[in-house]
Amino acid sequence: MKMYRSYKPGETILWRGDDLQFVASVVKGVASLSKTLEDGRTQMVGLLLPSDFIGRPGRETVEFDITAITDVTLCCFRRKPFEEMIQTTPHIAQRLMEIALDELDAARDWMLLLGRKTAREKIATFLEMLVRRTNVHGIDANSSDLTLPLTRDEIANYLGLTLETVSRQLNALKNEGMIRFVDRRHFEVVDLLALHEATGDDADGGLPV
Amino acid sequence: MKMYRSYKPGETILWRGDDLQFVASVVKGVASLSKTLEDGRTQMVGLLLPSDFIGRPGRETVEFDITAITDVTLCCFRRKPFEEMIQTTPHIAQRLMEIALDELDAARDWMLLLGRKTAREKIATFLEMLVRRTNVHGIDANSSDLTLPLTRDEIANYLGLTLETVSRQLNALKNEGMIRFVDRRHFEVVDLLALHEATGDDADGGLPV
DNA sequence: CGGAGCGTTGATTAACTTCAAGGGCTGTGG
DNA sequence: CCACAGCCCTTGAAGTTAATCAACGCTCCG
């Protein structure tokens, strides 16, 4: 009924259109959901971190590619028995609805980012999201020594930018003293308030997950 | 239990953060879901057409503004009794899940559009969506005499563009013979294939709703 | 006739992409 | 231990797209 699967960085977990034989939960690692245009331009439409869920009740296929970014371990269940379980336990159905609505809110916040934010605001929003999600997952609680789980190129695909623009804007925020880099993949937030002001969001929130 | 409400164009149906006292279904007209940055830039994150649903099981507030674009009539139910009804009739809960997942797919297609498509591709995608949605709603079946439910400015907010760019690209597609304008709010599609090719999507779909 | 709302068009500018080159790790093999 | 290749990142310069700024046209309506 329950089994674990592992994937190497860059390995595709599911292709768009694939049959969903399994539903799964991310145990370890980071994976991306992405969509691609005919000529190869791609846009990440979601990021899976540990505890996130793959699969959608009543759907047999996925509408995007799912790719391992780091080493990923999934905890998988066969779809059919899982869906029967949903029928009998309304508590789980409710939880899945909750997940879908959270993803929907996150997607809509990201639409605002993609459609209206400047490169600088996009980067600031992304970093702020990392602070928040890292803390939620309890890996670290003090905004210092955060990990960038993505390369510059992957960040660009997430934010609708090019990798050069990502590099330039990250360094701009660094030069302004908002963040500091430990190495290329590790940073700390020096001035969280200034970072938030650079996101363009209002003071009280509306923060994407 | 059930009642109708009407709104004039431009009237706000719900503000972001408002209590959801009601859930509702759109009977007539067009409404927008939109988000706004601190300095006033706005991005439409969804479009409500007849038969679309407002309200989310388990959520007490809305995360975006809902505004009437045309004259709108809603069919409203008190939220509390409606949620009790969900508990007892799993069929409805299932339908709501279906709706949420459809919206999620649409939101992700729109992320690809906002993040990676050119102005021309955005406009072509928008027009193609109008063809498809108009046909689905059975108002018209032959791709001619379609209605633009939005002003240039509103289209711009939907596509993450400015109104000038919308105007220029619409006229560009007209001059290339893909579409023809009856008047400012009515057009017909002359060459649906060419229009599709201008969207940048692959041949087989992945079309936003 | 005058004004408001919406749309078009042109000129200029700004932001981001594209193109190009080089730098700095890291792992591997001689 | 060093040389070298590959990968990722940075930086600079040029090019492009769409935004901005500005003016004008059309239509409806009082």
Same domain for A32 and A106, yes or no, is yes
Number of domains in chain A: 2
List the one residue out of B192, B175, B75 whose CA is nearest residue B127.
Answer: B192
Q: pLDDT of A146-200, one tens digit each?
A: 999 999 999 999 999 999 999 999 999 999 999 999 999 999 999 999 999 999 9
| Inter-chain touch B63–A93, beta carbons under 8 Å | no
Same domain for B109 and B122, yes or no, is no
| A78-87 long-range Cβ contacts below 8 angstroms, 24+ apart | A78/A1, A78/A21, A78/A22, A79/A20, A79/A21, A79/A22, A79/A23, A79/A55, A81/A1, A82/A23, A82/A55, A83/A57, A83/A58, A86/A57, A87/B90
Question: From the CB of residue A181, how many other CB atoms can be counted at a distance below 10 Å?
Answer: 13
Same domain for B125 and B96, yes or no, is no
CATH code of the domain containing A37: 2.60.120.10
Q: Say what the pLDDT of residue A143 is.
A: 67
Same domain for B70 and B105, yes or no, is yes
Taking chain A, what is the end-to-end CA distance rounded to the nearest angstrom? 30
Angle at B55 between CA A207 and CA B30, to 5 degrees: 95
Same domain for A47 and A125, yes or no, is no
Give the end of a domain, one of A113, A140, A160.
A113
Same domain for A127 and A38, yes or no, is no
Give the end of a domain, one of A113, A141, A156.
A113
Per-residue pLDDT, averaged over B2-23, amounts to: 95
| Inter-chain touch A160–B38, beta carbons under 8 Å | no
In a domain, B47, yes or no: yes
Q: For residues B97 and A93, is the Cβ–Cβ distance under 8 A?
A: yes
How many interface pairs between A and B have CB atoms less than 8 angstroms apart?
Answer: 129
Query: Residue B134 — very low, low, confident or very high, per pLDDT cuts 50/70/90?
Result: confident
Give the end of a domain, one of B56, B90, B113.
B113
How far from the centroid of its chain's Cα atoms is residue A40's Cα?
Answer: 21
Residue with tokens 């063809």: B131
Q: pLDDT of B136-146, one tens digit each?
A: 765 554 567 89
Q: Provide the token pair at A118.
A: 């400047």
Q: Provide the token pair at A87.
A: 């029928």
H or E stretch covering A168: helix A163-175
Distance CA B77, CA B1 (A): 6
Domain with A9, as residue range(s), is 2-113
Torsion angle, CA of A152/A154/A156/A159, rounded to 10 degrees? Answer: -130
Distance CA A37, CA B199 (A): 9
Q: Say what the pLDDT of residue A209 is.
A: 47
Same domain for B8 and B96, yes or no, is yes
CA of B162: nearest nucleotide by C1' is D19
In a domain, A208, yes or no: no
Please give the residue of chain A at the shortest CA–CA distance from B208.
A63
Q: For residues A38 and B200, is the Cβ–Cβ distance under 8 A?
A: yes
Q: Say what the pLDDT of residue B97 is.
A: 94
Cross-strand bridge partners of residue A187: A146, A181
In a domain, A68, yes or no: yes
Q: pLDDT of A35-57, one tens digit each?
A: 999 999 999 999 999 999 999 98
Distance CA A93, CA A81 (A): 14
Same domain for B106 and B122, yes or no, is no
In a domain, A205, yes or no: no
Q: Say what the pLDDT of residue B72 is.
A: 96
Which residues of chain A make contact with B37, given a CB cutoff of 8 A? 112, 116-117, 200-202
Phi-psi region of A38 (alpha: psi -120 to 50; beta: other; left: phi over 0): alpha
CA of A184: nearest nucleotide by C1' is D9
Same domain for A124 and A191, yes or no, is yes
For an interface test with B, the pick among A108, A118, A202 (most B C-beta atoms closer than 10 Å) comes out as A108
Helix, strand, coil percent values for chain B (each to nearest 5): 40, 25, 35
In a domain, B188, yes or no: yes
B206 pLDDT more than 50: no
For an interface test with A, the pick among B66, B112, B113, B126 (most A C-beta atoms closer than 10 Å) comes out as B112
In a domain, A29, yes or no: yes
**Which of the two residues, B89 and B42, has the higher pLDDT score?**
B42
Same domain for A49 and A87, yes or no, is yes
CATH code of the domain containing A128: 1.10.10.10
**Which of the two residues, A114 and A145, has the higher pLDDT score?**
A114
**Which of the two residues, A131 and B141, has the higher pLDDT score?**
A131
pTM: 0.94
Distance A167 CA to C22 C1' (A): 15
Return the minimum-mean-pLDDT range out of B18-27, B56-65, B81-90. Answer: B81-90
> Environment class of residue B162 by beta-carbon count within 10 Å: exposed (0-12), middle (13-18) or buried (19+)?
middle
How far from the centroid of its chain's Cα atoms is residue B51's Cα?
Answer: 12
Q: Which DSSP category does A71 fall into? A: -
In a domain, B131, yes or no: yes
Q: For residues A156 and A165, is the Cβ–Cβ distance under 8 A?
A: yes
Q: Is the CB of B163 under 7 A from strand C?
A: yes
B55 pLDDT more than 90: yes
A137 pLDDT more than 90: no
| Inter-chain touch A63–B112, beta carbons under 8 Å | no
Query: Residue B135 — very low, low, confident or very high, per pLDDT cuts 50/70/90?
Result: confident
**Which of the two residues, B85 and A135, has the higher pLDDT score?**
B85
Q: Say what the pLDDT of residue A88 is.
A: 87
Same domain for A39 and A59, yes or no, is yes
* A 123-142 near B (Cβ less than 8 A): none
Q: Say what the pLDDT of residue B195 is.
A: 97
A201 pLDDT more than 70: yes
Quote the mean pLDDT of chain A.
92
Per-residue pLDDT, averaged over A9-24, amounts to: 95
- B178: distance to nearest CA of chain A, Å? 20
Same domain for B92 and B130, yes or no, is no
Residue with tokens 């279904």: B25
In SS3 terms, B77-139 reads as EEHHHHHHHHHHCHHHHHHHHHHHHHHHHHHHHHHHHHHHCCHHHHHHHHHHHHHHHHHHCCC
List the one residue out of B108, B139, B117, B123 whose CA is nearest residue B207.
Answer: B108
Q: Say what the pLDDT of residue A203 is.
A: 78
Residue nearest to nucleotide C24 (CA to C1'): A184
Distance B7 CA to C5 C1' (A): 20
Q: pLDDT of B149-196, one tens digit each?
A: 999 999 999 999 999 999 999 999 999 999 999 999 999 999 999 999
| Inter-chain touch A58–B98, beta carbons under 8 Å | yes
B1 pLDDT more than 60: yes
A3 pLDDT more than 60: yes
- B56: distance to nearest CA of chain A, Å? 8
Quote the mean pLDDT of chain B.
92
Q: Say what the pLDDT of residue A204 is.
A: 63
pLDDT > 70 in chain A, percent: 93
In a domain, A39, yes or no: yes
A113 pLDDT more than 90: yes
